Copies of this chain bind each other. A is one copy, B any other.
Amino acid sequence: ARIVTLPGDGVGPEVLDAAVAVLEAVAERSGHSFEFESHLIGGCAIDATGEPLPAATLEACKKADAVLLGAVGGPKWSDPQAKVRPEQGLLAIRAALGVYANLRPLQVHPALASLSPLKNEKLKHVDVLFVRELTGGAYFGAKTRTTDTATDECKYTVAEVERVTRRAFALARERRQHVTSVDKANVLETSRLWRSTVTRIATEYPDVKLEHQLVDSMAMLLLTQPARYDVIVTENLFGDILTDEAAALAGSLGLLPSASLGEGTVGLYEPIHGSAPDIAGQGVANPLGAILSAAMLLRHSLDLDVEATTIEAAVSHVLSNGPHSRDIGGKAGTAAIRDAVIAALD
């Protein structure tokens, strides 16, 4: 299988190196073979080519079986008024690959409960899968700007809502058969379209229970009743906010993975943490988010479910027994964590 890696900026290259090493160790043990090809995206791509998503990168991604991304951005390119910004590369590749469904699983490992801001009894049995719509909404709508005024248009079509909803219901079927759809239907027209579309699609999945929540209530319920939720499906911007809120529950952003999937197109996998410029280049970044993203890549793009589960079990073993990286209260560096995960594969 051909995997394109997009290390990006900051700690991106460090965590991707670790994830690639784990994939290579898995390949060796399982007899599969993975070819890796690295390309530029984000700030480093701007520096090299003037563009946050160079054409060569996109071309390579389109031909690959899967794409593994590190992180983009950093203080060097952080002026939000600049014409060319690293984040544009991320948005452009999501759109170009058509990966409309962003899966962000959240569980709280028992060894990390003490790091979570939430009380321990709240964290028990938390096992949520967010399905965030990733290629629509205000992120990609028309924008205008004059000296006096700015606008962003949030737009959704029925077809866009249908496909991400079907993905969420199909995933819920394999889990606890419960979908919570989040919108702001008491205020937004796009949310009313969202809600009526989700309600209609739900009838195709009579074995799955559907619940609607307003985004403000959901922001509260994630804290008061996190264990109640199974699959949570929502539009792009609400998903951005709610998944970061939920990530705080896990004790560290460093270990959360994500998968962005389209319809028969190449999948895009990335840890949900950012480029963490404050610790970049020091060899101390937590690679577990990237490693777990690699596991999702094996499962969703290469159909290697057993191998994915092996990586996840190894990560869980390392979380239980150490070593731990700094973000979760330990002292181990990126390489030590990588080696511990590889050792735990056997």
Cβ 8 A contact of A193, one of B145, B154, B186, B224: B145
For A245, the chain B residues whose CB sits under 8 A away are 219-220, 222-223, 245
The complex places the Cα of A150 from the Cα of B188 at a distance, in Å, of: 9
Q: With A149-B155, A152-B154, A158-B147 in contact, is A216–B241 under 8 Å at CB?
A: yes
How many interface residues does chain A have, given as a range?
A: 35 or more
Chain B residue at smallest Cβ distance from A272: B216
- Interchain CB contact under 8 A, B248 and A220: yes
A92 to chain B, nearest CB (A): 12
For A81, the chain B residues whose CB sits under 8 A away are 192, 196
How many copies of this chain sit in the oligomeric assembly?
2
- Taking the complex as formed, is A141 at the interface, i.e. its CB lies under 8 A from any CB of chain B? yes
A residues whose Cβ falls under 8 Å from a Cβ of B: 73, 80-81, 85, 87, 91, 116-119, 122, 138-139, 141, 143-145, 147-159, 184-196, 215-217, 219-224, 237-238, 240-245, 247-249, 253
Chain B residue at smallest Cβ distance from A188: B152
Question: Can you report 20 residue pairs joining A to B where beta carbons are below 8 Å apart?
Answer: A80-B191, A91-B187, A117-B119, A117-B224, A139-B187, A148-B159, A149-B157, A149-B158, A150-B155, A151-B153, A152-B189, A154-B154, A184-B240, A217-B244, A219-B245, A220-B245, A220-B253, A221-B248, A223-B223, A223-B249
